[in-house]
Amino acid sequence: MIPSKKRKLDSETDDYISDCIKAVLPDDLSKDTPLVEVYVDEVSDRRNISKAVVAINSAFPVQELLHLKRVRNGKLLLFPKSVCELSEVHQFLMKKGFDTSLLTNNVEVALVAKLPPKLKNQYEKVNKLWPCNFHSNKYLERLVTNNLFDENEMQLHKICMKIAIDVAQYAGNKYNSKNVGAIVFDPKLKSVVAIGYDCTNKNPCKHATMVAIDNVAVTQNGGAWDKREEVIVNGLNTSGLPKDFEFLKDKYAKTISFGCRLSDHTDNKCRVSEESSYLCTNYYAYVTHEPCVMCAMALVHSRISRVFFGVKSRIGGLCTLCKTQTIKDLNHHYEVFCGLLEQECINL
């Protein structure tokens, strides 16, 4: 999106590497609309088309294909091919009370959109096959074309990832662990709520993301791994940030804040304020490396709203092995963007 002045590709081309972040899309946005076979037949007298449409709609309404027009070039869409054999189509229609004399009995199979198309380019493809209803969604169009963020927003995303990179480097050196860093960010306050770094040399489940999630819990008077007293700095609770990482505040304080909104924890059992935070709701996570399946699902449980990562991982659960965030049957889904400061993350 925004070309970087610093780095060039080694070979191939003289183009600048763009600091492009890409949305990791669910299949229904990244792939063509799935198709399904249906039976169609010609209306014998074109003057009867509207009559035939009304008749077929009452005899055989197809709930799952309501996004399709019922007629095209004098041909009537009857029903999905899965219903019966081609030779039995008219018999079937008669049983349903449809007047088959309206049709020529030249039943054919046609391919049509199985589901309503979500994007303009999907719509254009399936609409050629069979006319289709479509409601354009501006947000989705911007998401798939990677035009969701303006320059200022991109700048902020980069700063957040830079902090995650600093965390990865500092912790990696200090604790002799893998250089993986994560931060949880409140986009409303423009503030770093919690950080996490890899501690797998102590505990195989202490991935940077898991540590960051637990540090968010610390800000809410919880936490399983680390307990820290609430420290209030500039009206924000900074207990999600281990003391070691004070240097980040000095380095980035000009552009963003550190800490989370103070919430009503005085009465532990009851959250009075609607503003008070609940898990990672409305927060973003920035992680240097693609989170694994465990961490990806941990972020689902934590209700994170967006995840940004730099470089893909062999064990990644957001796009490499699977897209955990798009599993339909789960109760929460989040958006994922990859490639943010990718080269810097690769260099870690």
Q: Which residues bind other proteins (CB under 8 A)?
A: 202-205, 210, 213-214, 216-217, 220-225, 269, 271-272, 274, 276, 278-279, 292-295, 297-298, 300-303, 317, 321-322, 324, 327, 329-331
Q: State the nearest-atom distance from the C-beta of 292 to other proteins, in Å.
A: 7
Q: Residues near 36 by Cβ (< 8 Å), separated by ≥ 6? A: 65, 80, 81, 111, 112, 113, 114
Q: State the nearest-atom distance from the C-beta of 294 to other proteins, in Å.
A: 4
CA gap 310, 293 in Å, rounded? 16
Cβ-based nearer residue to other proteins, 94 or 272:
272
**What is the amino acid identity at position 46?**
R
Q: What are phi and psi of 285, to 5 degrees?
A: -115, 135
CA gap 195, 177 in Å, rounded? 15
Chain centroid offset of residue 65 CA: 26
Q: State the nearest-atom distance from the C-beta of 214 to other proteins, in Å.
A: 5
3-state helix, strand, coil in the chain (%, to 5): 35, 20, 45
Q: State the nearest-atom distance from the C-beta of 337 to other proteins, in Å.
A: 21
Q: State the nearest-atom distance from the C-beta of 278 to other proteins, in Å.
A: 5
**Token output for 148:** 């969701």
Cβ-based nearer residue to other proteins, 179 or 302:
302
Cβ-based nearer residue to other proteins, 126 or 298:
298
Q: State the nearest-atom distance from the C-beta of 217 to other proteins, in Å.
A: 4
Cβ-based nearer residue to other proteins, 179 or 219:
219
**What is the amino acid identity at position 5?**
K
Q: Is the dihedral of CA 321, 327, 333, 336 positive or negative?
A: positive
**Token output for 185:** 């960010």
Cβ-based nearer residue to other proteins, 82 or 331:
331
Cβ-based nearer residue to other proteins, 25 or 102:
25
CA gap 306, 325 in Å, rounded? 10
Yes or no: say if 181 and 166 are a contact pair by the CB < 8 Å rule: yes
**DSSP symbol at 139:** H
Cβ count near 141 (within 10 Å):
15
Q: State the nearest-atom distance from the C-beta of 309 to other proteins, in Å.
A: 17
Yes or no: say if 187 and 197 are a contact pair by the CB < 8 Å rule: no
Cβ-based nearer residue to other proteins, 53 or 321:
321
Q: State the nearest-atom distance from the C-beta of 279 to other proteins, in Å.
A: 5
Cβ-based nearer residue to other proteins, 167 or 295:
295
CA gap 185, 159 in Å, rounded? 11
